[in-house]
Structure 1
């Protein structure tokens, strides 16, 4: 879906920022440029360690309005995720995309705040009331369901091992060698934001949530 056209000045600024995000991406984030429509900003977010989203890769998009950066973008997860601040249709509820928006914040800040939302949800402003209630009342159950949804929808596809051909197997046997495969993985936590009382209670049950390296302004 094409976004409304930006002004030439905004488009030049956006192109510069997207280039910077691709050359020096934030930890746990990968920006994907839609060359047909730069105002449709897409990204992949690695689930932060110590959360029920760890190991998952979540696709999201920011739709920029025609008067951007005067008005904030709208944020959506296109990968299904069970989270208090994400509606079942994928809409993201976070203050930086609403009342706390400032034209000079930049997309890097927005993406970092959204990733931090996976570390510290805010059930007080829940779009998914069921997830918000679970977080407040039974953190273990919340983690269990969020983990299940991550496993179902957000785990990256595993690359299959290549099949050895008969000739390759014979060549290996003649040479006395063998074959193998390799795998790679990665990810890390990003800074958290100051938590709500519900999150502080959750941290007592899950100490991993308190291992953020630095803090951002409250969402």
Structure 2
């Protein structure tokens, strides 16, 4: 399978210069499919967690965004039970100028500051709005249960 030069360059950069707390490795049998690991950011409810994600580059990439989802269960208002992520750059704010690295850094930033005003998991967002301290405790519990290294 021949890959566009851009994907090869991005993959090489991810391996040569990984972003702190993030690793992304492409599958040998499908170089458009990546196993991603994101460490829960410090001072977040997800601190200490290790979250597994999958990232897939569709044929239209970079004209259309990569498909990314969490494989590790997470209690977050912008990530649903299926691991889908509500992030503007994965939808209407996508630009071909963005790269895999940018997407992964944005997801890591989303872990640092959940946005219950733009939810994907409405029940979690409501919990976050009604009792933020309790929601953060639940997020910490889920991180211990599902994302411990």
Structure-2 separation of matches of 1:11 and 1:142: 43
Deviation at 1:62, TM superposition (A): 1.6
Alignment of 1:200-211 (within 5 A): none
After TM superposition, the structure 1 = structure 2 runs for residues 37-76 of structure 1, keeping only pairs within 5 Å, are 37-76=30-69
Q: Does 1:152 align with 2:145?
A: yes
The correspondence of residues 68-87 of structure 1 with structure 2, limited to 5 A, is 68-87=61-80
How far apart, CA to CA, are the structure 1 residues paired with 2:130 and 2:90?
Answer: 27
Deviation at residue 41 of structure 1 after TM alignment: 2.0
SS at match of 1:108: helix
Aligned to 1:141: 134
Distance in 2 separating the partners of 1:75 and 1:89: 11
Distance in 1, matches of 2:80 and 2:36, equals 18
Q: Name 2:85's counterpart in structure 1.
A: 92
TM-score (norm 1): 0.65
Counterpart position of 2:100: 107
Q: 1:166-217 CA distances to partner (integer Å, 9 max, x unpaired)?
A: xxxxxxxxxxxxxxxxxxxxxxxxxxxxxxxxxxxxxxxxxxxxxxxxxxxx
Distance 1:31 1:72 in 2: 16
Question: Would the aligned equivalents of 2:26 and 2:32 in 1 still touch at CA under 8 Å?
Answer: no
Compute the RMSD of aligned alpha carbons: 1.3
Could you say which residue in structure 2 is the equivalent of 1:129?
A: 122
Once superposed, which parts of structure 1, at least 4 consecutive aligned residues long, lie more than 6 Å away?
Answer: none
Unaligned 5+ runs, structure 2: none
Secondary structure of 1:142's partner? helix
Distance of 1:106 and 1:26 partners within structure 2: 12
TM-score of the two chains, using structure 2 as the length reference: 0.95
Superposition pairs of residues 9-28 of structure 1, within 5 angstroms: 11-28=4-21
The unaligned stretches of length 5 or more in structure 1 are: 157-219
How many angstroms apart in 2 are the aligned matches of 1:122 and 1:145? 16
CA distance in 2, matches of 1:52, 1:124: 18
Once the two structures are TM-superposed, the CA of residue 51 in structure 1 deviates from its matched residue by 1.0
Q: Relative to total residues, which structure has the larger strand share, 1 or 2?
A: 2
What is the number of equivalent residue pairs in this alignment?
Answer: 149
